[in-house]
């Protein structure tokens, strides 16, 4: 999932480590989210959005992808 975390974080002058401390995760976790290697839980996404005083939708970009969602796969949707 694409996101704008780095953009928001840098606009506030926060390091990855500082943002991680604010939301209760490691610097490595923030890096993995920023580089799209990890998708945060809805609760972590909510906490991140609160730090930036923005909506989840402003930070995380939900786009249709060719990869089927887990829900579609579990229902056998092709």
pLDDT digits (tens, 9 = 90+) for 17-35: 999 999 999 999 999 999 9
30 burial via Cβ count (<10 Å: 0-12, 13-18, 19+): buried
Query: What is the distance between the alpha carbons of residues 48 and 5, in angstroms, rounded to a whole number?
Result: 8
Q: pLDDT category, 62, cuts 50, 70, 90?
A: confident
What is the model's pLDDT at position 17?
98
The lowest-confidence range among 8-12, 23-27, 47-51, 71-75 is 71-75
- Residue 60: CB atoms within 10 Å: 19
| Tens-place pLDDT, residues 42-58 | 999 999 999 999 999 99
Ordered by where they begin, the domains of the chain are: 2-73 (1.10.260.40)
Q: Please give the DSSP secondary-structure letter assigned to residue 38.
A: -
Residues sharing a CB contact under 8 Å with residue 17, sequence separation 6 or more, in sequence order? 27, 30
pTM here is 0.79
């Amino acid at each position: 999932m694409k996101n704008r975390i780095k953009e928001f974080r840098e606009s506030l002058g926060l390091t990855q480590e500082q943002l991680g401390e604010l939301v209760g995760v490691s610097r490595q976790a923030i890096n993995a989210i920023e580089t799209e290697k990890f998708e945060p839980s809805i609760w972590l996404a909510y906490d991140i959005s609160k730090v930036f005083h923005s909506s989840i939708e402003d930070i995380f970009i939900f786009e249709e992808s060719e990869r089927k969602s887990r829900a579609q796969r579990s229902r056998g949707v092709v």
